[in-house]
Structure 1
Amino acid sequence: MLELTTLMIFTWLTLRVRYFHSYIQNFVFFDIDINNNVIVRWLCSFVMTDDPTANQKSAQQTATLSMDGLINLRQTKAGLCAASAFLIPKNLMAFFEEIPIDSSDKPHPRSGHRAIATESDLWIWGGYYPANDNQPERMFQELWRYNFALRRWTLETTTGDGPTLTLASHSMCLFRNSLLVFGGTGFPFGQHVSNDLFVLDLKRRHWKRCRILDEQPEQVYGASMLVNDDHLYILCGTNSWTYNSDVYDIHLPTLTCKHIGRTFDEIEDPSETGRYRQEAYIYKNKIFLFGGGGVSGISFSFEHLPVFDLTSGRWSFVQTNPDPIYNFPTGRKFHSIFPFHKNQIIMFGGAHFHHLINRHIAVNNRIWTFDFEKLEWSILPKLTMSRPTYFHAAAINERGEIWTHGGVVSESRSINDINNYTEKRITSLHKMHTRVQNLSELTWNYFLNSLPDRTCLITQPELLVQLGVPPRFTERIH
């Protein structure tokens, strides 16, 4: 009750303020009577209205809710028009492009980079850009940070002993307040391959190369890396000539490593052993593999999933059930998966190798879910990616926001001519929500979107204190 009261007071203060120093005039578009629960009803208009996995209110109910809220808002006609952009319900689960406020300062288009997300920022490291008629080939030894509140990219300066030659298809994950990077390759791909583990302190921006004890993982790129408690699991990958599905367990406090799983023979193609650029997920002490590529260029399907049991130390396969209408997802690699609703993951993006034209083609823009309890695939029919992408960098934060950056898109001059497909690297940033935001987050986002100049959050932080903005929000601004 106290937390709700604090939230409502914060909302009320935010909406009632007439002037935010010299930056905002007529900031408030309407007055709110805090005693009639309009605040809660107003905030509810922001909630996902087209989540295909949840029970939905009809359009008539939604319209009624919005109108009820508006009737209780004592506002002028002009104020209503100004506020309407914030009151229109929209499907927050859909991917939409996030446009940085300063579009001139952003990462160069790239692929093969990796990302992690903290409460306040998206971090990307590395990446590759091929040579073309206008620009030389590039590998990016860069750490970029995108601050969610400021909607601003920053190229960070780092110190210490970090990766230099292996800046593409490395593995990356977040452990406490550190970024972990393992393996990777440079160009020409496979010429430089690494089995080094690097740790970047995100507060100090300082790199450290770790000395792994006991058994050493193979030098690979395209491996998967998962953190579970104090254990770091590294599995699969390639050195460009051989592929593996080995599993290594690194105890992070001691950096001791054990080789706990051996490469298995694929049942989809017995001549294939090992994978790279697959996605992995831990569920009930078992590691599930999703997709990936092999030595022949194959993109593994999703009908049978390899599963590594962390208790027994053995690989096996589980047979999955298709979507009753859309069957199984297209086999792919260079895609993304993230936790979704209870017992589920969400999957999107990726590419498969087209042997006729000898190149990778992006799969469709469909978004899938997989239920671990039912072992069943389902498509989200009303949701799609903004554009089919592969070799992108993607991450999810604790609020359930998925952020994707860059990658490769396939373009064709002719719909019927597959020989005219070309690849293009992009630097677009997209975002989607995997769950409904809580009221305080909705209020914070409304407040940010109402600011004509977000630099005031940096230049005059005392104003946020005066407004009573909770520290957990102000700490996100840096």
Structure 2
Amino acid sequence: MALAVYRRRPSNARSRSNSNDVVMQKSSKPRTMYDCVIVDDRDSETRPSPRSGHRIVANDGYMYCFGGYNPANPHRFGLFPELWRLCLATNKWEHMPNENCPEETASHSMILLGSNLFVWGGTGFPFGERCSNTLNCYHLGMQKWHQVPAGGAIPSARYGQSMTFKDGQLYVIGGTTGYNYSMMVHAMNLETLVWEDPQANRGTYPEWDHYTPEPRYRHEIATSGNLIYVLGGGTAQTVFNFEEIPAFNVQTNRWTVLTSRPCPVTGTYPPPRKFHAAVQHKDFVYLCGGFSGQFAMFDDIWRLSLADLQWQKLTQRLPRPIYFHSAAVTPEGCMFVFGGVISEKGDCRSNETFKIWLNVPTLQELVWDSITTKYHKVLAKHDQDDRDQLTRLGLRLPPKFFGRLNAKNSGIYK
């Protein structure tokens, strides 16, 4: 893969106690599409405020950002009960209709399934005292929030948990009440809307076989086969490593711990961390950023193969060290990173968007990426409902790319 745009000193984590530590020198190497770059339209006045503790998801045309927190925000105790949408072709943000929006908007979980955004858990103010265990859904076509009625063994209210969708079930793992940490697993069947505690149904095993990973929050998860893998995370006092990876088997409802393999080039693993972000694309997990718990922030990017649990440290880095950010990946394999804390003391937050391709795109996607990189402002200024107008500009777009300019043209939100 290509080298990053900036040269940095060769260390895994960067202390920001010395202002010289964060100076980034431009490389003489030309920028390529495989570098991690900032893609914001800095001229736009309509964009989310800097924040952390939010979540983002993405499809092929849009990135959605919900919630977050910033103590500099004078309203709602620093919380952001709001949903934003970024058009990936024009870099233009749009504030979405927000009636009946959930109020617990820090360290919640969010997942996109078709035209539905599902949000579960999170904390409001007072932090750790007001938590949610409600599943909320935002329909992208109707642009409305509603609570999903649920029954069964409903998980206790919490925040900092991870959520994934597998075999028709929403799985929620770990998290904290603000006082106690957990690694409990709960699953909701999206057809019956009934929650279950899978571990209560795992049968009779010897006491020594009842392994459960150490409780944690702000970890990330990935899935492959029958397994859900848990990556990193921590508590107020601890952070967990990536050499040993806890995995939950959805068939046996039992935990196991797996040993990963270090990067074959560096001979190392990702340093232990929490407040990082990760995405899964095909059989690979990409992990970026995070916090060591000891005033060390990360800007590194690592790849984990789920086939053999082999780690690889990528040459690319995030444009700056960051934690409490969020990441999402498009179906085509382009990862976006938004927001987060950019100071060790936690007093400065970002509203920048980073972008990096995780694989070689198709020729069509390659051309589309070039068009949107060079002409996103042109696309943003013209009527995206008028294909003839775009054609007169010399942009003869196939239907699938025309749909990415305007969600209602795509046909997927009906």
Q: TM-score, normalised by structure 1?
A: 0.72
Pick one of 354, 369, 374 that aligns with 1:445. Answer: 369
| SS of match in other structure, 1:463 | helix
Q: Does 1:128 align with 2:62?
A: no
Residue 347 (structure 2) pairs with residue 406 (structure 1): no
- 1:283 and 2:224 equivalent? yes
Q: Quick check: 1:304 aligned with 2:230?
A: no
Deviation of the 1:49 alpha carbon: 5.2
Whether contact under 8 Å (2:90, 2:377) holds in the other structure is: no
Partner of 2:328: 395
The match for 2:102 is 163
- Unaligned stretches of 5+ residues in structure 2: 5-28, 201-210, 407-414
Deviation per CA, 1:130-187: give whole Å up to 9, x if none.
Answer: 149x99951111111110112101111133x3312x1100000011110000000013
- Report the alpha carbon displacement of residue 457 of structure 1 after superposing the two structures with TM: 4.1
- Equivalent residue, structure 2, for 1:143: 83
Query: How far apart are the structure 2 equivalents of 1:197 and 1:308?
Result: 22
- Counterpart of 1:333, as a letter, is K
Q: Do the aligned residues in 1 keep the contact of 2:298 with 2:323 (CA within 8 Å)?
A: no
Q: 1:253: Cα distance to partner?
A: 1.5
Q: 1:228 aligns with which of 166, 173, 183?
A: 166
Aligned CA-pair RMSD: 2.7
- Verify the 8 A CA contact 2:213 2:255 in the aligned structure 1: no
CA spacing shift, 1:143–1:422, aligned 2, 3 Å: closer
Aligned twin of 1:472:
400
SS of the residue 1:308 aligns to: strand
- Corresponding residue for residue 172 of structure 1: 110
In 2, Cα distance between the equivalents of 1:104 and 1:297? 39
Q: Which residue of 2 aligns with 1:433?
A: 357
Paired residue secondary structure (2:217): coil
3-state SS in 2 of match to 1:473: helix
State the partner residue of 2:127.
189
Q: How does 1:46-85 map to 2 (within 5 A)?
A: none
| TM-score (normalizing by structure 2) | 0.82
**Partner AA of 1:276 in structure 2:** Y
Contact 1:362–1:409 (Cα < 8 Å) also in 2 = no
CA distances 1:41-77 after superposition (whole Å, capped 9, x unpaired)? xxxxxxx7569xxxxxxxxxxxxxxxxxxxxxxxxxx
SS at 1:247's partner residue? Answer: strand
**What residue is the counterpart of 2:93 in the other structure?**
153
1:336 aligns with 2:277: yes
Is 1:386 aligned to 2:319, yes or no? yes
How far apart in 2 are the matches of 1:451 and 1:392? 25
Q: How many residues align?
A: 369
Distance (whole Å) between structure 2 residues aligned to residue 323 and residue 437 of structure 1: 25
137 and 460 in structure 1: CA distance in 2 versus 1, 3 angstrom threshold: same
Amino acid at match of 1:437: P
* 2:289 alignment counterpart: 349
**Aligned counterparts of 1:135 and 1:195: Cα–Cα separation in 2:** 24
Q: Which ranges in structure 1 are unaligned for 5 or more consecutive residues?
A: 1-47, 52-87, 263-269, 355-360, 412-420
Q: Which moved more, 1:193-202 or 1:135-144?
A: 135-144
Counterpart code for 1:147? C
Letter in 2 for 1:253: E
Q: Given the alignment of the two structures, is residue 198 of structure 1 paired with residue 136 of structure 2, yes or no?
A: yes
For residues 112 and 323 of structure 2, the distance between their equivalents in structure 1, rounded to whole angstroms, comes to 22
SS of corresponding position for 1:226: strand
- Bigger RCO of structures 1 and 2 (CA < 8 A, at least 6 apart): 2
